[in-house]
């Protein structure tokens, strides 16, 4: 599933091309793509038609287009959603097709149909405008107003695994499974360590490493393990070549040479070094 860097790559691509443009045509090809829009596809189509896009936004993994009139088109990429500009060569997974007033096609392609579009009102939360469905999501580490020390204080009160807390979007948003493993490897902390047993400096270091690794990934276009994640031009990111932990089961740790391990965690896989990131004693 796309995490913060991948969604931010898409947002930047959209922002450069769709801001100031109006939507002149809309076609919903699959009802699941608008299932989160309770009023249905006809309502979404009618309200988008001839509407100007005045900006873009993102918080954590949530992406939206800001529309004239105080609404937002919230885009949930799910596991395989793609926002593409220009002609779509393979149309079997084209879920929503729109046309902008400069003739550019803006398409939502989603092979697994877990993503979708919905219209929502913008609300102000802690001084920032966000779509109403995103109001409960915490700020992410790349947000200029992200308060690392406040998050550290929150984590210090959590009698729960540190990786579970990193994945909790109400604590800190944008960090998914890949970048949690990468941040924990950099901080030399095992993901099953309880957050309230870690010192404030160690928790701060984990958050700093999460910030750094996501910025590194953003610089490389995100992480693509297959063709499902691409930017608005259909191009894959290449940060997967720089991963130190995720997906490296059986390979030597780049720091100490020990064999990397994989374990199940929250219906996901966690990758770590047993020497650099020892499991806590029971």
Cα-trace Rg, the chain: 20
Does the pLDDT at position 231 exceed 80? no
Percent of the chain with pLDDT over 90: 83
Cα separation of the two ends of the chain: 32
For residues 197-215, give the mean pLDDT.
Answer: 97
Does the pLDDT at position 230 exceed 80? no
Q: Please, is 196 exposed, middle or buried when counting C-beta atoms within 10 Å of its C-beta (0-12, 13-18, 19+)?
A: middle
For residues 128-157, give the mean pLDDT.
Answer: 97
Does the pLDDT at position 228 exceed 60? no
Percent of the chain with pLDDT over 70: 96
Does the pLDDT at position 226 exceed 60? no
**What is the layout of strands, in order, in the sheet containing 71-76?**
53-59, 62-67, 71-76, 116-125, 128-131
Backbone angles phi, psi at 34, to 5 degrees: -125, 25
Distance of CA 166 to the CA centre of its chain: 13
Question: Which residues are CB-neighbours of 254 under 8 A, at least 6 positions away?
Answer: 244
Distance of CA 141 to the CA centre of its chain: 12
Could you list the active site residues?
Answer: 2-3, 61, 268
DSSP notation for 152-213: HHHHHT--SBHHHHHT-TTTS-S--HHHHHHHHHHHT--TTSBGGGS-HHHHHHHHHHHHHH
Pairing of strands 105-110, 116-125: unpaired
For residues 29-35, give the mean pLDDT.
Answer: 96
For residues 188-205, give the mean pLDDT.
Answer: 98
């Amino acid at each position: 599933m796309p995490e913060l860097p991948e969604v931010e790559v898409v947002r930047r691509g959209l922002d450069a091309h769709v801001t100031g443009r109006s939507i002149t045509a809309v076609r919903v090809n699959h009802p699941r793509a608008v299932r989160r829009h309770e009023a249905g596809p006809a309502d979404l189509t009618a309200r988008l038609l001839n509407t100007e896009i005045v900006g873009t936004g993102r918080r954590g993994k949530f992406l939206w287009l800001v529309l004239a009139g105080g609404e937002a088109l919230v885009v949930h990429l799910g596991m395989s959603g793609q926002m593409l500009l220009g002609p779509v060569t393979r149309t079997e997974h084209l879920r929503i097709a729109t046309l902008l007033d400069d003739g550019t096609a803006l398409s939502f392609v989603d092979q697994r149909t877990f993503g979708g579009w919905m219209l929502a009102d913008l609300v102000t939360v802690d001084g920032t405008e966000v779509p109403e469905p995103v109001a409960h999501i915490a700020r992410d580490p790349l947000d200029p107003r992200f308060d690392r020390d406040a998050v550290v204080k929150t984590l210090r009160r959590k009698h729960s695994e540190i990786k579970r807390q990193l994945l909790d979007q109400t604590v800190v948003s944008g960090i998914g499974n890949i970048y949690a493993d990468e941040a924990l490897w950099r901080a030399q902390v095992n993901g099953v360590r309880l957050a309230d047993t870690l010192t404030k400096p160690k928790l701060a270091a984990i958050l700093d490493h999460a910030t750094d690794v996501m910025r590194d990934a953003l610089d490389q276009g995100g992480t693509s393990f297959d063709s499902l994640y691409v930017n608005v031009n259909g191009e894959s990111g290449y940060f997967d070549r720089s991963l130190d932990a995720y997906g490296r089961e059986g390979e030597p740790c780049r720091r100490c040479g020990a064999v990397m391990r994989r374990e199940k965690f929250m219906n996901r896989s966690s990758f770590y070094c047993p020497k650099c990131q020892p499991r806590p004693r029971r």
